[in-house]
């Protein structure tokens, strides 16, 4: 690990000013960043500590949703009464990730900004990694790619985004609040993460000096039911091979609206409007769920070692929808 400076910010604006130094990075829990620094993948010149900025609350918004401060730990979000009651799919997603010790340290903002766990990215001894060195090639494409993407595989990088939280937030239509030198702005989660088509080194649309301040969730209807399903090689401390966040809103026994997002299949959480359209206005039957699952995986382009993910994802969509509908 190379030497670096540590600066503790007193306010959000103070943090943004400190982050203007070339090579500066924001630091909260550090559960991903410190690992990357130890391996030499990340070499920040300055760590801007954002742990004491007052961004550690979960509050009800005037619109009836909730705002989650970016400094709230994953454990605190998952166990907060407002989240467990109104957005259980988010609580389920968070509790399926990492370990208790890591969830106690990791923050909402850091979770959203975490990097892929592709082994070719995580180990700087592999020189062919477009995410570390754009234009160098993608070693995973003709290497070990069992855990990699099945959507967006035509670009320069086939790594997947590792966050469970982000998949649930995608299904919940979350909005990110960020602040930078130019002031405050909001980013719908559908515009937050990016595919690696032109800039594989970028994971999202947040500028280097911008700081996530909060994640806002819209009001949740009492008729809404959700479920987060994570399929992985082992139950403890493993990233998803495939995950599904399903949220269904009912009018009687008819699905009034649906949201389905997949994880472990692309460089960003993969929302599937085609599946949602098939579900809307229909009764919750196994036949409808199977049709939605087929639509969800339409256009998948698996790699040499992960074709199994297509079948796995279809079965996972059916199971997540079935569990969600059962309430």
Per-residue pLDDT, averaged over 217-237, amounts to 91
Predicted pLDDT of residue 145 = 98
Q: What are phi and psi of 138, to 5 degrees?
A: -125, 105
Residue 24 lies in a domain: yes
pLDDT digits (tens, 9 = 90+) for 271-308: 999 999 999 999 999 999 999 999 999 999 999 999 99
What's the order of all strands across the beta sheet hosting 175-180? 58-60, 66-69, 211-217, 175-180, 183-188
pLDDT digits (tens, 9 = 90+) for 159-208: 999 999 999 999 999 999 999 999 999 999 999 999 999 999 999 999 99
Q: Is the pLDDT of residue 223 over 80?
A: no
Predicted pLDDT of residue 309 = 98
Print the domain residue range for 22: 5-51
pLDDT digits (tens, 9 = 90+) for 124-142: 999 999 999 999 999 999 9
How far is residue 96's CA from residue 88's CA, in Å, rounded to a whole number? 12
Predicted pLDDT of residue 60 = 98
Predicted pLDDT of residue 72 = 98
Least confident of 144-158, 179-193, 212-226, 278-292: 212-226
Predicted pLDDT of residue 137 = 98
Predicted pLDDT of residue 327 = 87
Predicted pLDDT of residue 260 = 98
Domain count, the chain: 2
> What's 17's domain CATH number?
3.30.43.10
pLDDT digits (tens, 9 = 90+) for 34-67: 999 999 999 999 999 999 999 999 999 999 999 9
Residue 243 lies in a domain: yes
Predicted pLDDT of residue 1 = 74
Which pair of tokens denotes residue 88?
């259980």
Predicted pLDDT of residue 79 = 98
How far is residue 171's CA from residue 158's CA, in Å, rounded to a whole number? 22
Predicted pLDDT of residue 235 = 85
Residue 93 lies in a domain: no
Least confident of 62-66, 220-224, 239-243, 292-296: 220-224
Residue 14 lies in a domain: yes
> What's 246's domain CATH number?
3.30.390.50
Q: What are phi and psi of 251, to 5 degrees?
A: -120, 95
Per DSSP bridges, beta strands 5-8 and 46-49 are parallel
Predicted pLDDT of residue 295 = 98
Predicted pLDDT of residue 54 = 97
Q: Assign 2 a pLDDT band (cuts: 50, 70, 90).
A: confident
Residue 134 lies in a domain: no
């Amino acid at each position: 690990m190379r030497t670096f400076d540590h600066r503790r910010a007193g306010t959000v604006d103070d943090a943004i000013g400190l982050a203007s130094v070339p090579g500066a990075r924001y630091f909260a829990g550090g559960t991903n960043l410190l690992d990357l620094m130890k391996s030499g993948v990340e070499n920040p010149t300055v760590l801007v500590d954002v742990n004491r900025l007052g961004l550690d609350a979960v509050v009800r918004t005037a619109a009836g949703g909730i705002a989650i401060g970016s400094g709230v730990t994953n454990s605190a979000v998952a166990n907060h009464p407002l989240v467990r009651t109104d957005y259980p799919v988010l609580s389920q997603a968070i509790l399926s990730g990492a370990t208790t010790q890591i969830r106690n340290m990791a923050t909402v903002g850091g979770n959203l900004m975490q990097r892929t766990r592709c082994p070719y990215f995580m180990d700087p001894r592999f020189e062919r990694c477009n995410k570390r060195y754009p234009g160098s090639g993608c070693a995973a494409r003709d290497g070990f790619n069992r855990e990699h993407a099945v959507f967006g595989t035509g670009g320069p990088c086939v790594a997947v985004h590792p966050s469970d939280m982000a998949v649930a937030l995608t299904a919940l239509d979350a909005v990110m609040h960020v602040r930078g030198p130019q002031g405050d702005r909001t980013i719908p989660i559908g515009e937050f993460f990016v595919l690696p088509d032109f800039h594989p080194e970028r994971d999202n649309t947040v500028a280097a000096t911008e700081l996530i301040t909060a994640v806002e969730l819209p009001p949740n209807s009492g008729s809404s039911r959700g479920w987060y399903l994570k399929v992985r090689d082992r139950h403890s401390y493993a990233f998803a091979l495939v995950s599904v966040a399903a949220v269904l809103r009912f009018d009687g026994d008819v699905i009034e609206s649906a949201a389905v997002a997949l994880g472990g299949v692309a460089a960003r959480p993969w929302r599937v409007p085609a599946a949602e359209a098939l579900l809307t206005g229909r009764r919750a039957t196994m036949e409808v769920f199977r049709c939605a699952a087929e639509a969800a995986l339409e256009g998948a382009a698996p790699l040499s070692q992960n074709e199994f993910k297509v079948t796995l994802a279809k079965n996972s969509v059916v199971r997540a929808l079935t569990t969600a509908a059962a309430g």
